[in-house]
Amino acid sequence: MAADEKNFRSAYYDKVASRSVEEKKSLEIILKDKPLDRRKLKQFCLGFCVPIAYRNLLWKLLLDVVPVHVECHTFIMNQRKQEFNDLLNAVKVLRSVDVNTPKSQVFLAMWLLQSGNFSIDMNLINNKGFLAIVQSFGQFFDDDVDIYWLSRNLYAKTLSIHREIRSLVNVSCVLLEKEDNNLYKHLRKNGILENLPLDKWFICCFAGILNETALGKIWDKFVAGSVKIMAFVATILLINFKSKLLKCTEIYDAQNCLKEIPDEIADVIANKSIEMWQQYGSPLLLSDVKNIHHS
């Protein structure tokens, strides 16, 4: 039995490794296009997990940090770096940050200044969504310029769907009702479901909630255009903690259950979310809830 299991695992890992090599080759072919084709890159991100070595480039392209003309990348990133330094110097001169201010708060001050929402007496710990995104990008990349621009543009993308957050919450509830009716009824009966911080999860794209390995897989889909992936993540997250949540009758207890998610559980949540999202046809937009009802 042990030998059979070992052979099965070896065959499985060989298959996964072979598939990864093929996917990498496919991506490398797409990256030879001149200019690069964002549509093809989006399709790749939606269909596969982006190899770690290419994630920085693809996210920059899909979040409009760099253009599709590769020959311009060095110049554009030099311009980004100059603007980054100008903003950093400005917030220091304005004394809104100092050497003890956490990097995420420094970047928030810079973004507020850049977007015209800066004030001398602002509170730099209020915007937890932006702060969490910066902190998560800090787990992916080392370069502060990359971290700032990627954080800024990903957060701008979440803000662009702000009016759809309520619809995203509704889709999550519909999915939960269909996928685990017992859990749905329990959370609804005890007034927990409507009080869960789903809107906060969505506005930060689960930054600070899931680890970077899980976030990488989910953000591949989100930056490529799938807003709806977040509803599947929320649903699987709740289902994954079903045994604990069924014991909760108060929102406070439920929130405590979901506070700290271990790395191995976060990875399971990401994988199962993408799997379920694919089973529903890999939907992108918040078009129509009835599509879920009749899947």
Same domain, yes or no, for 179 and 264?
A: yes
Looking at residue 190, the DSSP 8-state letter turns out to be T
Angle formed at CA 204 by CA 200 and CA 207, multiple of 5 degrees: 115
This prediction has a pTM of 0.88
Residue at 86 is within a domain? yes
Same domain, yes or no, for 173 and 287?
A: yes
pLDDT of 12 strictly over 90: no
Q: How far apart are CA 10 and CA 13, in angstroms?
A: 5
Confidence of residue 72 (pLDDT cuts 50, 70, 90): very high
Residues with Cβ within 8 Å of residue 146, at least 6 apart in sequence: 56, 60, 65, 137
Domain boundary (132, 158, 184) is at 158
pLDDT of 289 strictly over 70: no
Tell me the pLDDT tens digit for each residue of 169-184. Answer: 999 999 999 999 999 9
Residue at 143 is within a domain? yes
| Cα separations in angstroms, 44 against 28, 37, 72, 256 | 11, 11, 23, 37
Tell me the pLDDT tens digit for each residue of 211-256. Answer: 999 999 999 999 999 999 999 999 999 999 999 999 999 999 999 9
Q: How many domains does the chain have?
A: 3
Looking at residue 76, the DSSP 8-state letter turns out to be H
The total number of residues shown for the chain amounts to: 295
Per the structure block, which two tokens stand in for 209? 């909630």
Q: How far apart are CA 79 and CA 136, in angstroms?
A: 24
Same domain, yes or no, for 137 and 174?
A: no
Tokens 């899980």 belong to residue = 214
- Domain residue limits at 126: 71-158
